[in-house]
Chains A and B, each alone.
Chain A
Amino acid sequence: MEWLAGHDDTIFLGQAVAVPGTAMSNTLTGIAQEKLMELPVAEEMQMGMSLGLALAGQVPISIYPRFNFLLLAMNQLVNHLDRIGQISNFGYSAKVIIRTSIGSERPLHPQHQHVGDFTEAFRLMLGNIQVLRVEEPEDIFPAYRQAYERKDGQSTLIVEYGDYLSEK
């Protein structure tokens, strides 16, 4: 995350990005506060705002701490971000990096609304957003670097394992 934060055009947004709150928050503690935008709980608004930020020239890293929460942003994800090329006759493109995780189960199991892995379903629904599930911690940095450096103007959804955030 520090590598991403080192670029002038990046901004991190979501819940528990500028304050503690989730296992993911711990990965952002070394980042300057001006790069972190704490948002209210408004998942669809967050995804739409991420697209708007990208249209205006920024590279948002839009954080949804658990995959189940990302479901609430599906309208913006499927109908707008994924189809931004087609609906604009390929006039607009938007590079958003979406960060989520398969919810952690240890040391507390948060039960069945917090541990979903919808990777394959998202791959079926998203024709233009690359969906990457990083299987091991060493895969994480290359995934984010690829998402930021890509030249095709497309977005990337990166799925991490929540348990790794505190265990590996």
Chain B
Amino acid sequence: MIDADGLRSFEERVAQAFNDGKIRAPVHLYSGNEEVMIKMFQDISSRDWVLCSWRSHYQALLKGVPAEEVFSEIIAGRSISLCFPNYRMFSSAIVGGILPIATGIALAIKRERRVERVHCFLGDMTAESGIAHECVKYSTNHDLPIRFIIEDNGQSVCTETFPTWGMLASSFENCSNSKIVYYQYENTYPHAGAGVRVQF
């Protein structure tokens, strides 16, 4: 499995390519959560499904997709919805879009008594949306083989999540639901791009 330095250097390579104008599409980069992501993937098997948002380079690498394959997809402009069927990875660039899809996959797994699990990554703003609450409620009450991994960096693009909702913290912080994994991190990259802001 790729280590923390490998993850960081991959994003740096993407950042450089983006700032050099070699990627003519948005990229959304991670930083500051390498250790927690590596730990997360120690509990994810190759037969499991991983669903992500527009920020998903780390998940692809940790799921085992070769770095050059991930990089070529990014260069081709598909960073925003990286999908690798052979690795059971699916991403979407629509807020909350993956949640019911992940729930449906988990439902199929349970109905067919398969041993796979689903790991669904979402941000703090997505976690406060109506579709998130529906999917978490349904998955919890039907005990589907899924976990929702909430990655809280406090921001949605440039909007602060909790003040806009009139909240002090995430609905899922200190949550006792076994289907929920919650962690906070600070991302040194902007929402999109790599420092040189390109409005799109």
Contacts and interface: CB of A to CB of B under 8 A. Distances in A.
B interface SS class? helix
Contact of A47 (B76, B83, B93, B100): B100
Contact of A79 (B90, B94, B134, B138): B94
B196 interface: no
Nearest to B141: A40
B84 A91 contact: yes
A40 B138 contact: yes
B119 to A, nearest CB: 13
Interface stretch (A48-56, A100-108, A123-131): A48-56
Interface residues on B, range: 20 to 34
Contacts of B84: 91
B181 interface: no
A91 B85 contact: yes
Contact of B97 (A49, A50, A54, A80): A80
Interface stretch (B7-15, B101-109, B157-165): B101-109
Given A55-B104, A91-B85, A48 B111 contact: no
Contacts of B112: 56-57
Looking at A37, A40, A56, A89, the one whose CB has the most chain B CB atoms below 10 A away is A56
A45 B134 contact: yes
Interface in A38-95: 40, 42, 44-58, 60, 75-76, 79-80, 87-89, 91-92
A80 B111 contact: no
Contacts of B103: 45, 48-49, 52
Given A56-B108, A87-B83, A89-B83, A45 B131 contact: yes
B78 interface: yes
A52 B107 CA distance: 8
A55 B100 contact: no
A146 B29 CA distance: 43
B94 A80 contact: yes
B85 A58 contact: no
Contacts of B94: 75, 79-80
B48 interface: no
A55 B105 contact: yes
A52 B81 contact: no
A11 interface: yes
B75 interface: no
Contacts of A57: 108, 112
A76 B102 CA distance: 12
A94 B120 CA distance: 19
Interface in B58-97: 73, 76, 78, 81, 83-86, 90, 92-94, 97
B104 A87 contact: no
Contacts of A50: 104
A8 to B, nearest CB: 10
Interface of A: 11, 37, 40, 42, 44-58, 60, 75-76, 79-80, 87-89, 91-92
Nearest 10 A-B pairs (CB), nearest first?
A52-B104, A48-B100, A49-B104, A56-B108, A88-B83, A52-B105, A91-B85, A52-B101, A87-B81, A45-B100
